[in-house]
Each structure stands twice: as C-alpha cells, then as structure tokens.
Amino acid sequence: MTAAGRANVTLRDVATAVGISQSAVSMALADHPRISEPTKQAVRAAAARLGYVPNSAGRTLRAGRSTSIAMVVPQTGQHVFGHPYFMHLLVGVTAEANARDATLMVSTNPDETHGVAAYERVLRSQAASGAIVASASISDPNVKRMVDATLPVVLVGRFAQLPHAASVGVDEIAGAAAITRHLVRDHGLTRIAHISGPLDHQTAVDRYEGFRGALADSGRPCTHTLAVGDFNEESGRECARQVLDSMADLQAIFAANDEMAYGAMLEIRSRGLRIPEDIALAGYDDFGVSRLTTPGITTVRVPAQALGRKAATVLFDLLGGTAPDPAHTVLPFDLVIRDSCGSHPDRTAAGDGPVASPAPDHRSPDRGE
C-alpha cells in the first residue's frame, strides 16, 4: 500500500474490520485496561494490515500535552461574529478549550462566493487536531468530506444523512411544537403565520415541521401560511409584510428566531397594530433581544453556550478515544412565556416573568450516550 493509501485509512476502517466501535479501537491502540488482550491483538493486526496511522492528536491529548481544535462555520466572518447564536456557541467552545489548555481556531468564509474556504483551510493546514462544524446547510457536501476525513469531527445540529457522525443539538421539532401548542391551546389562536429560516438548513426545516405537526395534532381547524426568511431582522420584517398582506384575519406570527420576530414586531407596529391584542408574536432562541422589547417576546430558549461546551467535550473525548460511537447528544430546551403572545393571569405583566418548564412531551430528552 502506498503512503497516500495508508494516510487515508481511518479509525472507522479498523473498527469495521474488527467489528467493534471506533472508541474501542482507540482504547485498544492506547493499551487501555478495559479492552481484552485478544481484542487488542485483533485491532493491532487489522491496523497493521490496513496501514492505519494513529492520529497524533489523540496521542498528544492522552499524554497531557496541549492541542489545537478548529471551529468551522461556513459563513462570512461578519455573519458569524455579528450573530448572537454563534457568539454564545463560541463562548461555550472556548470555555472547554481553555479548560483543556487547547488552542481554538475559528475558520469562516471570506465572502458568499467561497463556500468551501472554511473547510479547506482546516483540512489543508493540518494545524487542528479535530474540528467542530456549525451552521452548515443540508446540501453542503463538505460536511461529509470533513466527517470522512481522518480528522475527528463533531457536528452542531441534526444531520440525518450522516448517522455515523458525532453530533450535539436540540430537538428543534419538539421546541417548535411546544411553542405552537401554547399559541393554539392556551390562547385559542388558529390562524398563524410562520416565518422560517432558509429551508436548506435543518434547523429551519425542523422548526417548520414542529410548527405544522402541532397544528395538525391540535384537534382544531387551524390554518397557516409560510414566509421564508434568512434568520435576520430585515428578512423578518419583509416576511411579516408578506403574511400581513396575504393572510386575512391573521391572529399570530411565529418566527423561527428572535431576530426575525423583532423584525416582524417592527412591521406590525408600523401598521398601527398592537401586540398581542391584534397580532400575537412568538420567536425562538432567547439570546437577548426577546427580553428587551416591550412586550417581551415569548420564545424557546436554546442553550447555545451549553451546546458549544458539549460539542467541545465530545470532540476531546473523540481525540482521547473515550467517546461513545456514535455520540449523539440532545440537550433540553425551555419554553419561555412572555407577554407578546397574550395575557397570562397567573403572572404579572411586568418584567420577564417566570420560565415555564415544559411538560415532558415539550422537553427534548438528553440522549447523550
């Protein structure tokens, strides 16, 4: 086998040859006491036969020396560092990297036309021991390239087409369903518009699916319309303009994030309409803007900082050979009730109000394995 061929052999290849998990292979190669001697011998034999070269990052990590990891976001730097979701995510990743005395690289695209630059920079440089990939579209082939490379990778979000990849996320379908049920069941709203994010992103698809599913399961004659936004304030206002013009007797707008909900709020008020008396409003994320408006915006709280920290933890576990195979972790969300969706007689109208702990079917379980 050529040197190039040897370099392309991955831990997964060895695991498949032996019939055990990747983490077990990693522990066997590290002579971990939990792995039996016959299994260690089988792993070493398969690695030698295939020409597997152990990842130096794992050896560095196990030896207690510092390492470098990358966070790959295939968006422009202006988008990444100007969006609260990424800043919360980055805080979480940074906290875990600092705790491990690791260096963090952030790789973004220089502009909208260079969709592969963020990936290529990390793959070519070989400066990072592993990578976290966030905000990739469903159709982005570079995500699979990263997962199939010898570099350990953790994805932030749901990637159903890559079941073998390690991932960390929130049950977006359940979150959107929870807030939709609140609008229908608790406020009797049945004519609702949804402002989604771009539907080439799984997050936007899942939130729209949760919204539609909750309407269908409500047992009430609900109608809805859809406007597709871009997760920013301007698109939220434009989409609100569309649905207000097109849907007669509109009762509520549910936006797939709080920035679009705020844009919708501006459009609603520009028409002399009141929130929630004329149009109820709900958002998603709870990264700050939703609690600063008057009225505050009812939303779903996404634990973005915890997502970043967990993604980094799983990545370090992969590097150290201790992560389950595959590692799919789903963190819980909270439904946050404020005044934009209607009055709540059990709480005061002023301030943020209490966070409503969702019922069991509203909260996604922590399925970390």
Give residue-wise pLDDT tens across range 175-224: 999 999 999 999 999 999 999 999 999 999 999 999 999 999 999 999 99
Look up the pTM and report it. 0.78
Residue 110 — pLDDT band, cuts 50, 70, 90? confident
- Token digits of residue 241: 């303009």
Cα 277 to Cα 181, 182, 269, 274, 280: the distances in Å are 19, 16, 12, 5, 7
d(CA 158, CA 201): 10
Distance of CA 277 to the CA centre of its chain: 33
Cite the DSSP H helix spans in the chain. 3-7, 11-18, 22-29, 37-50, 56-62, 77-81, 84-99, 117-125, 141-148, 172-181, 187, 202-217, 233-246, 258-270, 289-292, 304-320
d(CA 366, CA 303): 12
pLDDT score at 24: 75
135 pLDDT exceeds 60? yes
- Residue 259's CB is within 10 A of a number of other CB atoms, namely 27
301 pLDDT exceeds 50? yes
Q: Are strands 328-331 and 355-356 parallel, antiparallel or unpaired?
A: unpaired
pLDDT, tens digit, for every residue of 41-82? 898 899 888 888 665 555 554 544 458 999 999 888 877 888
In the three-class reduction of DSSP (H, G, I as helix; E, B as strand; rest coil), residue 55 is classed as: coil
Largest CA distance in the chain: 76
pLDDT score at 29: 77
- Token digits of residue 102: 């690791």
Question: Backbone phi, then psi, for 257, in 5-degree steps?
Answer: -155, 170
Does residue 191 contact residue 250 with C-beta atoms inside 8 Å?
Answer: yes
More confident residue, 335 or 361: 335
